[in-house]
């Protein structure tokens, strides 16, 4: 068996390495020549993925993994093609298919009869069957019956991808029974599953019966989380107005197995949770709860800034530091990060805003459009946006002149901030 992985990003590269480690001859393809050169040297082009620095050189040295920029050539040599090209969205959350369509066109040029093409990129309901399968047929010159197409959404978390390969069931769905069968056979060969998860359920490959069901499973899971966080943010707003600590309330509620309220936060970021609910609502026009949840979650930064302004006698001309550019702690990624709406809301209130992040250089932050901040420089206030471990131990002495800290992730030790006004999301 020979496999090709199209797009070597934070999911695609670990996936290609996993296939190679399982004994499958693997070709990795990406249009970014600089990233491919870095990978070919044995160095991951992004930090923080557990075991990747160890596994990648071994996969290359063994000859099981080869990387390059020619997608068509890689597909031409392969029995299975796994597509992990990011599906970007516009400002309204609508999918932009440009990159996915281009990758599909390159795949079609190398497609041979009998090849299985698996889309792991999260897609709107019906996209695998109604958009990409016909496109592959038209551009390859093959009949739809001559090749196989399936969907299998990625369900891993950056930073622990290899562990998650074994932890969660691999969901698959084909546009035909044969595509599903081949898809199950492939993933059973390349993934090592824990026999049972923490709840005693069997892991392994789950055939959901159709490509649409597999697409929907990912959309349902991410939409659930967005709605749950929105509920927590509603609870946090009420708690702030009524002198209650929502963290303790949620802990108490979750002490029974019937409740699983997630944490509130200043923003919901990343490629998944703030984006995929919109994929769902784009096809289910009667859905109302996910739409409301998105509105609730995107309103938090303005509420935070108003609370700060009320306690600081306005923010006009005040120097405010935003701690964290990344969308979550420990990951060098700004996709749909809360840093953007938080900075915008502060600037709208007249504040002079600077940004700090331990994972980003001053040049990185400037490239993102931010004025960088260094600990030890004076400021009037600060907002914690990313829950980086490096922020756990900071205190007022690191931000001279600070009078107010807003902890947007309930992350800091309140006792370390007793000398200044300390606000925590969800605490009155």
Rounded Cα distance, 302 and 315, in Å: 13
Q: Where are the domains of the chain?
A: 2-209, 221-428
The pLDDT assigned to 164 comes to 93
- Three-state SS across 128-195? HHHHHHHHHHHHHCCCHHHCEEEECCCCCCCCCHHHHHHHCCEEEEECCHHHHHHHHHHHHHHCCCCC
The region that residue 350 occupies, defined by phi over 0 for left and psi between -120 and 50 for alpha, beta otherwise, is left
For 109, the token pair is 């040029």
The pLDDT assigned to 196 comes to 55
Domain 221-428: give its CATH code: 3.40.50.720
For 14, the token pair is 């670990």
For 297, the token pair is 């979650």
Q: Which CATH number fits domain 2-209: 3.30.450.20, 3.30.365.10, 3.30.565.10, 3.40.50.720?
A: 3.40.50.720
The pLDDT assigned to 271 comes to 86
The pLDDT assigned to 89 comes to 81
The pLDDT assigned to 199 comes to 53
Contact by Cβ (8 Å): 356, 375: yes
Q: Locate tokens 């309330």: which residue?
A: 249
The region that residue 368 occupies, defined by phi over 0 for left and psi between -120 and 50 for alpha, beta otherwise, is alpha
Note down pLDDT in tens along the chain; length 428 residues: 999 999 999 999 999 999 999 999 999 999 999 999 999 999 999 988 999 999 999 999 999 999 999 999 999 999 999 999 999 888 777 899 999 999 999 999 999 999 999 999 999 999 999 999 999 999 999 999 999 999 999 999 888 999 999 889 999 999 999 999 999 999 999 998 875 555 555 679 999 999 999 999 999 999 999 999 999 999 999 999 999 999 999 999 999 999 999 999 999 999 899 999 999 999 999 999 999 999 999 999 999 999 999 999 999 999 999 999 999 999 899 999 999 999 999 999 999 999 999 999 999 999 999 999 999 999 999 999 999 999 999 999 999 999 999 999 999 999 999 999 999 999 98
Residues recorded for the chain = 428
Which residues, at least 6 apart from 293, have a Cβ–Cβ distance to it below 8 Å? 223, 226, 227, 229, 230, 231, 277
The pLDDT assigned to 230 comes to 98
Rounded Cα distance, 256 and 81, in Å: 44
Tell me the whole-structure pTM to 2 decimals.
0.91
Beta bridge pairs of residue 383: 322, 406
Q: DSSP character for 416?
A: G
Contact by Cβ (8 Å): 27, 59: no
Helices (H) and strands (E) in the chain, counts: 16, 15
Q: How many CB atoms lie within 10 A of CB 73?
A: 16
Helix (H, G, I), strand (E, B) or coil at 121: coil
Contact by Cβ (8 Å): 258, 376: no
Contact by Cβ (8 Å): 322, 352: no
Contact by Cβ (8 Å): 380, 401: yes
Contact by Cβ (8 Å): 84, 18: no
Distance of CA 350 to the CA centre of its chain: 31
Helix (H, G, I), strand (E, B) or coil at 280: helix
Helices 276-283, 211-241: inter-axial angle, 10-degree rounding = 110
Which residues, at least 6 apart from 321, have a Cβ–Cβ distance to it below 8 Å? 353, 354, 355, 356, 373, 379, 381, 382, 383, 399
Across the beta sheet with 421-424, the strand order is 352-356, 319-323, 381-384, 404-407, 421-424
């Amino acid at each position: 068996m020979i496999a090709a992985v199209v797009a070597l990003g934070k999911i695609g590269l670990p996936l290609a390495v996993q296939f190679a480690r399982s004994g499958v001859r693997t070709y990795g393809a990406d249009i970014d020549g600089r990233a491919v050169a870095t990978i070919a040297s044995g160095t991951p082009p992004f930090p923080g993925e557990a075991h990747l620095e160890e596994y990648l050189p071994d996969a290359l040295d063994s000859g099981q993994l080869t990387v390059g920029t020619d997608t068509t050539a890689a597909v031409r040599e392969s029995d299975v093609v796994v597509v992990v090209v990011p599906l970007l969205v516009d400002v309204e959350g609508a999918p932009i298919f440009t990159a996915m369509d281009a990758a599909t066109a390159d795949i079609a040029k190398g497609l041979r009869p009998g090849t299985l093409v698996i889309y792991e990129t999260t897609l709107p309901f019906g996209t695998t069957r109604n958009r990409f399968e016909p496109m592959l047929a038209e551009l390859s010159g093959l009949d739809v019956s001559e090749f196989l197409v399936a969907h299998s959404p990625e369900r891993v978390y950056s930073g622990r991808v290899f562990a998650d390969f074994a932890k969660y069931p691999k969901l698959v769905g084909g546009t035909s029974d044969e595509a599903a069968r081949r898809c199950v056979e492939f993933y059973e060969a390349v993934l090592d599953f824990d026999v049972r998860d923490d709840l005693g359920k069997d892991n392994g490959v789950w055939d959901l019966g159709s490509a649409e069901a597999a697409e929907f499973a990912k959309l349902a899971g991410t939409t659930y989380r967005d709605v749950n966080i929105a509920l927590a943010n509603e609870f946090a707003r009420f708690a702030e107005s009524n002198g209650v600590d929502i963290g303790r309330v949620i802990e108490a509620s979750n002490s029974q197995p019937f409740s699983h309220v997630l944490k509130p936060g200043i923003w919901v970021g990343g490629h998944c949770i703030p984006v995929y609910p919109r994929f769902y609502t784009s096809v289910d026009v009667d859905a109302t709860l996910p739409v409301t949840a998105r509105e609730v979650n995107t309103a938090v930064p303005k509420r935070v800034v108003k609370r700060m302004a009320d306690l600081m006698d306005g923010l006009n001309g005040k120097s405010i530091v935003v701690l964290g550019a990344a969308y979550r702690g420990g990951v060098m990624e700004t996709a749909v990060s809360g840093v953007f709406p938080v900075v915008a809301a502060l600037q709208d209130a007249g504040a002079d805003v600077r940004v700090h992040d331990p994972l980003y250089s001053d040049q990185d932050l400037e490239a993102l459009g931010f004025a960088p901040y260094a600990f030890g420089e004076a400021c009037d206030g600060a907002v914690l946006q990313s829950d980086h471990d490096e922020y756990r131990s900071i205190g007022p002495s690191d931000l001279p002149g600070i009078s107010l800290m807003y902890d947007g992730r309930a992350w800091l030790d309140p006792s370390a901030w007793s000398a200044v006004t300390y606000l925590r999301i969800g605490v009155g």
